[in-house]
Each structure stands twice: as C-alpha cells, then as structure tokens.
Structure 1
Amino acid sequence: MLTENNLTWKMRLRELFIDYICILIYLIILFGITMGIYLVVLKGIPEFNELQSQLVALLTSVIPIVLIFSFWDYSKGSIGKRKAGLELYYANKTFGASLVRNIIKFLPWQLGHIGTIRGIYTNFDTVAIIFTICSMVLAIVLLVMGLVRRDKRHLGDLIAGTQTQVR
C-alpha cells in the first residue's frame, strides 16, 4: 500500500459521482419493475408494516448494491473507478475483502434507510433520529478519510486491506 497516494480529490469525486449514477440507474429500474408488479400483478400497492419495509429496502437495494460493487471491485473495479482511471489494490485479494469493504462503504446508506423508514412509521422518534444522525456522521467520516488521509484510505479500506490508487 502507498503511504503517499497521488489520488486527487477530483478523481475520487468523479469516481463517486459515476458510481452513484450507476446506483441511481439500478434504483430507477428496480422502481419500474416493482411498480409494474404491484400495479399489474397485485392490482395495487400493498400495505407494509415497518419490519416489512425495512426488509424490502435491505433485500432489494442495499444487499444487491453491496454484492454488485463487491463483484466489480473484485474483478476490474467499479464503473466509476474505471472511468476515473483508478484501480483497487488488495493486501490479500479475496472476494471477502471486497465484500467487507463494500459493507462498510454502504453502511451509511443502510443506516439512513433504517432511520428514514422508522421515522415514517414513528413520526421520527428518537431512535429514528439517532439512526439518521449516525448515517450522516459515518458517511462524512468515510468521505473525509478518503479525501484527506495521505494514503486516501477510508475505514472500509483499512479493515479490508485495500487502497484505491491511480492506474
């Protein structure tokens, strides 16, 4: 791993922007398929309780995105990394390391889901607010670590033994 990484914040933000466009495309397609099933097959949008809503969000958005990005990072890198001219280096290249990295990377998103969904069902009680704040704090910590550390590694990189570098 490099101790002085020449990865610039513009490269990192370009990577993140492109990757989040990919996520947005996935979510739009998911929404279209889901609404098609609800309206055509089920003849309406079903009512969900809080637990069901949490599971739907986890199983249809978070887990698939974590798995897709883990696969991309393990193979040739995410679309954002490739377009930004970046590559993910591993201390010990395993799919498990890629999976750990992406679980941590997308954890703020899941915590945000938990807080928002709980808030909708509880009129944003204390627990919902705590999850939402934890989501934002962790997202900021990960972003700041990846931008300002000399080695440009965020928490997921440190735990998984990975580092994004210029190709």
Structure 2
Amino acid sequence: MTRQLINRILAWTIDFGIIVLYAVLLFTLTSLFFEFKQASLNPYFGQLIGFLTLTLPVIAYSYLTEKSKWKATIGKRILNLMVLNRENKTFKSVLLRNLLKYLPWELAHTGVHWMIYFESVGRETPIWTWVILIVPQIMVFIYFVSIVISKGQGGIYDRISGTRLQLKTT
C-alpha cells in the first residue's frame, strides 16, 4: 500500500467521523424538538427532509472545503492531501466529484425510506426497493476498488469529474 492510499483511507475515516458527529447532533436535536414516527412519514417527504438536513450539508461540506484555497476536507488537510483538477475548472469538477461520490449514499437513503414505508403500511417490499438498496453497495465497492487500483490518486468519480488526489509537497 502506498502512503497516498493509506492517507486517503485515514482522511476518509476522519471526514466520516465528522459526518457521523453531525448526524448524531442532528438526530439528537430532532428528537428533542420533534416527536414523530419515521414510519408515518410519506417516503417522498422523508426523502426530502433527509436530503435537505443530512445529504445536502454533507455534500456542501465536501464541496466547499475541496474548492477552497486548501483544496481539501478537514481529513485531507490533516493528512496532507489535496483535490486537484484539470484546467482550473474547480466549480464544476469538484461539484461533480462530490455529487458522484455521495450518489450511492442518497440512493441507499431512498431505499431505506421506501422499505420503512412499505413495512408501515403492511405491504411486502417490492423488488425495485431491494435493487435501490443493493446498487449503492456495488457502487461503493467499485469506487473503493478503483481507488486502491489507482494507489489513492483517484476513484471512478475522480476520473469522471476530472479530479485527482495528490499528496502536498512541503
């Protein structure tokens, strides 16, 4: 394993920890101020709430930090990594990178919302819901393999968006 690959995995761990802390804080605040049952939510409404309060802020965190002068999330900064792109198309390439990176996560949320809904109305979960739950796992596996193959420089979403990760030279 290369130093860059190890740093990328450790940076992801730090950033994921930040995301988990945010999600726990969000859940705690929601539980304190609102009393509702997840199963009673319309899946479209639940998806919208989840996207606006969890997914969108996470994408914004990644996008804003990676397009900043540091070109890195907090985890990447700590581990001396930066996101580079070709031809200084920071806005589009970094945005596309993060939309693709978090697409499996949002697809999985969609599947979970629908599964909870079907269970709450006493219906069997349709096959399309299971597909929506399985496809993101396959995508993440492919993302991970592509990152390992590139020795930490870029996953499939990096190649598509025209970005790559690089160790900072100090």
TM value normalised by structure 2: 0.85
Q: Which deviates the most, 115-124 or 80-89?
A: 115-124
Given that 1:7 and 1:152 are in contact with CA atoms closer than 8 Å, whether structure 2 keeps it comes out as no
Task: Determine which of 94, 99, 104 is the counterpart of 1:98.
Answer: 94
The equivalent of 2:14 in structure 1 is 18
**Distance (whole Å) between structure 1 residues aligned to residue 145 and residue 152 of structure 2:** 12
Q: Where do 4+ consecutive residues of structure 1 move more than 3 Å? A: none
Identity of aligned residues (%): 27
The equivalent of 2:36 in structure 1 is 45
Question: What code does the residue aligned with 1:36 have?
Answer: L
**Distance (whole Å) between structure 2 residues aligned to residue 127 and residue 69 of structure 1:** 30
Question: What code does the residue aligned with 2:19 have?
Answer: I
**Distance (whole Å) between structure 2 residues aligned to residue 37 and residue 156 of structure 1:** 38
SS at match of 1:45: coil
Question: What code does the residue aligned with 1:61 have?
Answer: L
The equivalent of 1:120 in structure 2 is 116
The equivalent of 2:81 in structure 1 is 86
Q: CA deviation at 1:9?
A: 2.7
Alignment of 1:8 onto 2:4: yes
Q: CA deviation at 1:32?
A: 2.1
Question: What code does the residue aligned with 2:78 have?
Answer: K
SS at match of 1:88: strand
Q: Deviations over 1:37-94 (max 9, x none)?
A: 21xxxxx226411111111111111111111110011112101111122111111242
Question: What code does the residue aligned with 1:83 have?
Answer: I
Q: CA deviation at 1:150?
A: 5.3
Decide whether aligned partners of structure 1 residues 59 and 160 sit closer, same or farther in structure 2, where only a CA change above 3 A counts.
same
SS at match of 2:45: helix
Alignment of 1:139 onto 2:140: yes
Q: Deviations over 1:96-139 (max 9, x none)?
A: 22111000001110011011111111243211110111110111
SS at match of 1:8: helix
Residue pairs, 1:150-165, within 5 angstroms: 152-165=153-166
Alignment of 1:73 onto 2:66: yes
Q: Which runs of 5+ in 2 are unaligned?
A: 120-124
Decide whether aligned partners of structure 1 residues 7 and 89 sit closer, same or farther in structure 2, where only a CA change above 3 A counts.
farther
Q: Which runs of 5+ in 1 are unaligned?
A: 1-5, 39-43
TM value normalised by structure 1: 0.86
RMSD: 1.7
Decide whether aligned partners of structure 1 residues 61 and 79 sit closer, same or farther in structure 2, where only a CA change above 3 A counts.
same
Given that 2:41 and 2:117 are in contact with CA atoms closer than 8 Å, whether structure 1 keeps it comes out as no
Given that 1:71 and 1:95 are in contact with CA atoms closer than 8 Å, whether structure 2 keeps it comes out as no
